[in-house]
Amino acid sequence: MKVEHLTIKELTEAVGGGVTPRMVRHYHTLGLLPPVQRSEGNYRLYTRQDVQRLQRVIALKQQGFQLSHIRQLLDSPSEEPINPTLMAQLQQQYRSVIQQITRLRQTASALEGLLGRDLSCQTTQAEALAQLKQLDVEAQAGLGQLDQLWTNLDAETATHPEVFQEALQRLLPDLSHYSEVTVHLLHQLVLACGDVSLINFVRLSQGAIAAAREALKAKCSVVTDVPAVATMLDQARLAHLGCSVETLIDNPHITGASEAEQAFWDHALWQKRLQQIPKGSVLVIGYAPSVLLAACQLIEQQKIEPALVIGMPIGFSHAPAAKRRLVETQTPYITLQGSLGGGLLAAVALNALVETLIEKPDCHCYLTCP
């Protein structure tokens, strides 16, 4: 059967993603793309296998892998374990990324120190900007001046309470496309952890807010994975709504993610209780990723039907996997991408929903906005 060949331009068009012929030639030089057949006019000719190879290269590059690592990953036989040398290199890259994040976090903190000032600190803020222009950053004395600058700014904080909403307005991205209820939820999550970047990792399914409000109005059961999450819920407001609070792993000695995870695996009782959660309940998971994974499996098998899942377990491999699986279910959800999460954030999410329901029971903004 005749093999269909593509020119380098056709190859880049098939792959998309901003790939250019120049990039393709560079990948050939690095060995990321194998040598290919040439036409009589000495033009490279590509096959569909080359398209797939280049797509893999681009996908891995977008994930942040270095080109040298991508070549080793793609050239390693799938049936063999990854080379220990490559694993060591990937670990080193991870450490480098964490260092970059640390530096960026320091930069963000400095900017927050200026931009996050409320109106009462405007004069000090202006003085700080003026001093920054005059700093001799090359001299050691300049570093001392910088420390003194922040000390002067900090002195202003003793004159009045912090006005959080003013700071958030300057620091948060544009949230005008979200409903009022969703914006309140996002605000509360940021204030719970002090990290504005958290906004970029929040994921809500279409209809999650509506599902939550309807379930809470119907006096649903709220089921948490561990007692620590239950204690952080707004019990008074939930009682006002007529919602009961139940705990899946009902062991008061479990206070952390690792304990919750192991307990769920060790005792079939907790797994059985998960299968028995009431239909239409709100499931709040803030610690154990395996609880969320098991819940997703039961949802897929139509053995449980929660009205909403707030899935924010902690972990570095199982938790991200559990959250990805949650997103693929048909159940309304609120989650945080990656390893971010924890019992506090999970509880804050539900508390924010409860608060807006009680204070604005007739609000319907969430029906037209996410």
Q: Which pLDDT score, from 0 to 100, does residue 91 have?
A: 87
pLDDT digits (tens, 9 = 90+) for 79-136: 666 678 888 888 888 888 888 888 888 778 777 777 776 666 666 666 666 666 665 5
The answer as to CATH 1.10.1660.10 being correct for domain 8-75 is yes
> Are the C-beta atoms of residues 202 and 189 closer than 8 Å to each other?
yes
Q: What is the mean pLDDT of residues 273-285?
A: 96
Specify which residues 46 forms β-bridges with.
6
SS3 73: helix
Superfamily name with CATH number, domain 172-367: Cobalamin biosynthesis CobH/CbiC, precorrin-8X methylmutase (3.40.50.10230)
Q: Give the C-alpha separation, 93 to 106, whole Å.
A: 20
- Select the more confidently predicted residue: 167 or 57: 57
Q: Which residues of the chain does CATH 1.10.1660.10 include?
A: 8-75
pLDDT digits (tens, 9 = 90+) for 314-355: 999 899 999 999 999 999 999 999 999 999 999 999 999 999
Query: With pLDDT > 90 as the criterion, what percentage of the chain qualifies?
Result: 52
For residue 305, pLDDT beyond 90: yes
Q: Give the C-alpha separation, 47 to 114, whole Å.
A: 55
Q: Which pLDDT score, from 0 to 100, does residue 140 have?
A: 47
Q: Which residues of the chain does CATH 3.40.50.10230 include?
A: 172-367
Q: Poorest-confidence range of 88-97, 253-262, 359-368?
A: 359-368
For residue 146, pLDDT beyond 70: no
Q: Specify which of 123-132, 146-155, 266-275 reaches the highest per-range mean pLDDT.
A: 266-275
Q: Which pLDDT score, from 0 to 100, does residue 123 have?
A: 63
Specify which residues 244 forms β-bridges with.
221
Looking at every residue in the chain, the average pLDDT score rounds to: 87
Q: What is the mean pLDDT of residues 282-307?
A: 97
The pTM of the full predicted model, rounded to 2 decimals, is: 0.77
Q: Which residue pairs from 151-155 have beta carbons closer than 8 angstroms and sit at least 24 positions apart in sequence?
A: 152/124, 152/127, 152/128, 153/113, 153/117, 153/121, 153/124, 153/125, 153/128
Which residue type occupies 142?
A: G
- Select the more confidently predicted residue: 216 or 60: 216
